[in-house]
Structure 1
Amino acid sequence: MKSLQLREAKATLSAVIEAAENGHPTTITKHGRPAAVVVPVADARRIYPVDRPSLAEFLLGMPEAIDIERDPSPMRDIDL
């Protein structure tokens, strides 16, 4: 994987995008540390799927209802 400093990535952004289109990811570093990776769209869609259900949709889609019981003991006193 190719690695570029942020300044160089800014100056050659079109080349970085073209490399990603051709399937070659590029790591962009800032102050010597990896800060971002430019990847092909297909890879990004695989990593971050758009059609992932929300947590509420996931829980509502469970086959059986979850029975949750509340603890009946009284709450503790808090001194403020």
Structure 2
Amino acid sequence: MMKEIQLKDAKATFSHVIDEAVAGETAVITRHGKREAVIISYCEYERLSRVPSLGWLLANSPLEKGDLPERKPAKGLDRSAF
């Protein structure tokens, strides 16, 4: 679950916001109505840090040329503009 909290309220109740993050509740911090930051637990941060990047996945793919069927060009797409 995720909740939004204004920066001034997050500062006033920071310990409570941290306790909720540790319990699994994500907090989006807003400033002047704009989403500025996210508070998550350290366990969630570590889990997200281990997600491989798209570049890593592509570079380490076991697929070889010809493993996937050729794609057909999209109908009506003028590729000369690219």
What TM-score range do you get, normalising by the shorter chain? 0.5 to 0.7
Partner of 2:69: none
Q: Which amino acid aligns with 1:23?
A: G
1:41 CA displacement:
1.2
Structure 1 residue ranges (4+ consecutive) displaced by more than 3 angstroms after TM superposition: none
Partner of 2:46: 45
- Higher-Rg member (1/2): 1
Partner of 1:62: none
Map 1:61-80 onto structure 2 (within 5 A).
none
| Deviations, residues 22-41 of structure 1 (Å, cap 9, x unaligned) | 01111100110111110111
Q: Secondary structure at the match of 1:26?
A: strand
TM-score, L = length of structure 1: 0.58
Partner of 1:11: 12
Partner of 1:24: 25
What is the distance in 2 between the residues matched to 1:27 and 1:7? 13
Q: Which amino acid aligns with 1:42?
A: C
Q: Secondary structure at the match of 2:10?
A: helix
Aligned Cα root-mean-square deviation (Å): 1.8
Structure number with the higher helix fraction is 2
Q: How many residues align?
A: 52
